[in-house]
A and B are shown apart, each in its own frame.
Chain A
């Protein structure tokens, strides 16, 4: 038998039919649904008179549009002030009710960002194929699952057929060996990977993350890494199953129980790339050499270590890249050669499907504990990824640590990650953000995003500018 990669195994186990033209029908075990990319899919089903193929494979929740202020949330869907957002969330409710799909409603404690609640509920399991009309579906690959984002037409296709039409991707292995230095987190690892291979480096590949550093990470950390595989161009990121995976899944509401648990675990343990499996591309990163990372530009590959400087376009020979640096500097209002630590901040956002899980909040709380947010800051906010993360954080007293330090403690949702709700940057403002995209206008029209880890965002909130979280903690 030929050695297989994890991706090969997941692909083979879900292959319904290989067609002569090179495409294949792949069976989908789980579809997560949110309000933004689903209305047109449900509409399509209705117009064609179709029903969901397997209703129970779907799980829905509103996340992108939901307000995060307690006052607005208190009145549920009807309390959403923005009427267009309200209609979209209502439309999700109506569609789920009409088609019989389970939905965690706006104020259900299980509501949250789709990519946080799937794993939290055990609705994401090892060995599954998971899709969602959202590019950060790659997050779920942390469980040894094949998970990727799809468009709305494909959401409809999966609803109607439980399958996707796919072409097999190539295999890439990103191996991070060594040991992370204190203050360097999963977020810094993935930012450094993207800086290394570029935002198109993974295009056409399924990207497996391996090596000592990845093995030593918690599930939260692995999710952070896989979450941003798409920022490196790879639709799917994944990590092999090990004891850490199995321990995390155990006891979750939709995880198998009893005899089925044993049977499942035995199978899950096979979900690793075989020794000698062939990868089309291997990237090696020395984890020991990494420092905390900060993005300076308008693409997630525009990243430097915190002690670095904003690059100088004069030193770039490729004309397209040079133009990219120039336009990013202009948009970001930065000078070539400026020290990263000299960037003054206006707001800090801790949240998003990249970094809003309990471990992220603990990391941030450890930094701000007993300190105060810089007076120069207009706002610093913490938005938990789900109602259950929020509850857990409150049980641990993290909410008080944040509010005493001067950070706002919000209701769960996507929030200022993409600013579809009221949480957003004003034009020209600089924000230290734990989210995943620093595109122009992403966090608000004219807003300037710097991607960092939760610990770095927390340190920046206290200092009012970027600092190496390590120096800061020692002070």
Chain B
């Protein structure tokens, strides 16, 4: 259980700064530090158990369908990383407390930092591949927020975007790789995956999987050629750089390679790819670290270089190489975090990070100078510092490995070269900042920072020195645990400073001598390199992004013609082809069931239905007539439903028909009354052919299906409607019970559509034409008396019918949807007969809450079943009796149906009444000529407040 808390505490910690930011920075910093400190202590408390060889695991099933478990492990590797993440994280909190300017939103910073810390701890402890990936993505997101913390700066935004793009793309590749890996291993549990290395190596998909996983790791750990985002991420505040780019985020890729080492390493492909990428990265980074003039730029590239070094070691993959890699992870994190923080202090106190403006700072900042020198010595690999030990181990391993076959001598040679560069840039960093006289004055007068701001650096430098002096005492225990976790068996080793005069020591000596010489002749080297045009990675990156965006737009433009006809044409053509293929495959169109009996009424009804359809299309240029024809189609469809025993559908169709007519007429008013002749005869023929053929195919398909006895799911509903849902009306029981979730989704969509239309029409005022299409002026009678009185009489009647249809819906044709439409139509009639103003005076409430309340009622009814321990939307029913009324049934489905009713009424009225309102205020009072009306339109619309 403590494992879960170690992972959860930093995540909970995200809330702490948000809650305490009001109380001042000191309180907030302290409060933020509490939870990670607790997590650190809990991690340490688990060490004895770990030393006893216990398997510390925690697992809860989360989403078994996705093979996702909430599973954590704590082994040596997790321990090493947890200590780094939480320990350095705490130091960073202290450091950031002083680093951030007074007016900066520190609460937000801490929250991002905690989110990042939580996701890193999650990566380090995940015992499930998918879970690991989730935390991996979370690091990408939270690092985006951290890098872009100074969001007012363009370089911060661009750097953050670049980091997110690169690591995010790598994350996608990693997901694909991990899915493959889990599939190959047959499990997404980390333990199972690590144990099935043989199966994975033998799988033919291994190279693909390895490529994808390494893409993820290389992008995250800034390996060549994906290293370019890291220097640009230096736009982040220095605490972020110190944390993300020394100890944690960039180590995530390294961690992944170490974690999955037992499962996916061990092939020649792995060794060659990983060690080559690593060595190239190491040299590339080291070279540019020497060339940069920005303090953080130097550190960024040196980080790239050291990450490359660790990658080489992981690529070599022998047990001692793994040990060296783990040791260097630890050492690099300590000295690089110290260096970043020193750089931040220098930046903070002098106002610049440019080497040109820095120099001679040893007088003004003697303590910082000492600390930085010590940390840089560790980075250069000076004996008696921790960096020396792991570098020696690296040299030893580079000599021992046969990875590159005949050219294996290349590896130690390149390693020495890397050592030379490392010595040179470390020397340059220290000398140029503290000892060399400054060429230009820094913007601020430098002085020592507050003591507590320096404290984290002091702690880390002390660690560097102590580990360097007493490696066996300080690091052996931790490294034993960590290496056992990676290699799988205990490793016998002895960390010592002195191994006698051997080849690695000579390599080190060589590195020092040549490195110092290189720095001495540094000016010449710089002049030489200045002949080459530099490449700005960011510019290239932005250009690629822009070109991708441009290509996508072109592709979209090619695919999307913005022509509805074309879309529909393609859709129909596809349907035609698919339907045609289906039809060709059956031998006989008429199935075994044969035709149903036919009578004269059916034939005539079908003829009229077809006539209506054809006439709608034929008269489409005369829109009103076309609408009337469409109404014939609607009527006959309803009659067909009635004839074939589907009364619910008939009722729905009839009420929908009325609403559709009103809606279309409201819209038609603003459209030209006649459509101009647009299509060429050729197009007409083409469209007729397409539509006609499709019609024939669909008709044949229907005929083929209906003359066959097909297994349908309807028998289930018919049988279970009464016992399961408590209603005889199967249609309604399906709507409110069996498929209640669908209905809930539908009314939600309806309500949202209503709200969207309401918002879109809000304040839209269209000017209406002063006469109809043929130039007749409108009748002066706004509210005809007959209509007015009929509408008044009809309303109570319609509401009664509506209540009747609603209540009986569960057992007989009807239900909330139809009842809602009837109510809506009756109310709309009132609007038509008496006008918006009159109706609004009497229906003095907005309709949008009605629709929303409807959805809420339906949802709450569904949620209610949880109270009784049933799944969402389980309905219950019972029978009750009252005097006078007799026995009746009450079902929760009725409540759900009430929600449907309210949603339908609300949404329909919202749409129709608001559409009706569009013209209201702007009807021309006097009849004038067309020109004047247009002018009036212009002025009145201009006056309308926006």
**Does A associate with B in a complex?**
no
Interface residues of A (CB under 8 A from B): none
Interface residues of B (CB under 8 A from A): none
